[in-house]
Amino acid sequence: MTDLMRGDRDAQDGAPSPRGKRQRLIDGARQTLHAQGVASTTLADIASVADVPVGNVYYYFKTKDDLVQAVIAAHADEIKVRLAELEHHRTPKARLKALVRMLTEQRELVGQYGCPQGSLCSELDKRDDELSRSCAQLITMPIEWAERQFRALGRRDARDLAVALIASYQGIALLTNTLRDPELMAREGRRLERWIDSLA
């Protein structure tokens, strides 16, 4: 079990605190949904990974959809943090290239299970409900961030370039997973960095 999933401990008896259990369930759900998909994952699967009694799940999440919504929110929070971390690079070109490197660093995981956010969005997009609409932000957030960087480069076609960048990543993530070849993503990352250089 990872440190993230261990949660807080009650000072008196060493048992996980309520907040710790809830967070462990979210972390366990992220891991299990990525590996198995939403449709194939049960609350019992998630409880097992999170080391929480399955009967306790309903204290924090009334339905599996409620837990999936919490996973989407957790992904969105992580994307915000990671994009904010890229702002320390001095130029928009450097920030865009850092984004590409950040995405390609997870190529081994992508090769095994696909892009964590992209695969979740792809599965939920088959549903016409609040979950599918909520999940869309996991794709629009990096597009909007990249659009701002391209606009700072003086590009009038900033939106088109941002969509092309994220589409290239999601496309290579699919191929990397399908062919189980992380080197595909590494090569595409290098190509995208050269492409960004050519636009600056």
- Residue 155's domain comprises 72-200
**Residues 77, 51: one domain?**
no
Q: Is residue 130 a contact partner of residue 73, using CB atoms and an 8 Å limit?
A: no
Q: What is the pLDDT of residue 163?
A: 98
pLDDT of 6 > 70? The answer is no
Q: What is the pLDDT of residue 4?
A: 32
User: Residue 156 and residue 142: Cα distance in Å, rounded?
Assistant: 18
Domain of 102, CATH number, reads 1.10.357.10
Residue where a domain stops, chosen among 9, 28, 62:
62
Residue where a domain stops, chosen among 62, 88, 103:
62
Maximum separation of any 2 CA atoms in the chain, in Å: 61
Q: What is the pLDDT of residue 103?
A: 96
pLDDT tens track for 66-98: 999 999 999 999 999 999 999 999 999 999 999
**Residues 110, 21: one domain?**
no
Q: What is the pLDDT of residue 7?
A: 35
**Residues 145, 84: one domain?**
yes
pTM of this prediction?
Answer: 0.87
In a domain, 67, yes or no: no
**Residues 99, 128: one domain?**
yes
**Residues 81, 50: one domain?**
no
**Residues 58, 86: one domain?**
no
pLDDT tens track for 90-109: 999 999 999 999 999 999 99
Domain of 50, CATH number, reads 1.10.10.60
The total of structural domains in the chain comes to 2
pLDDT tens track for 162-199: 999 999 999 999 999 999 999 999 999 999 999 999 99
pLDDT tens track for 141-163: 999 999 999 999 999 999 999 99
In a domain, 117, yes or no: yes
**Residues 76, 58: one domain?**
no
Residues 6+ apart with CB under 8 A from 70: 25, 26, 29, 61
Q: Is residue 71 a contact partner of residue 33, using CB atoms and an 8 Å limit?
A: yes
- Integer-rounded Cα Rg, in Å, for the chain is 19
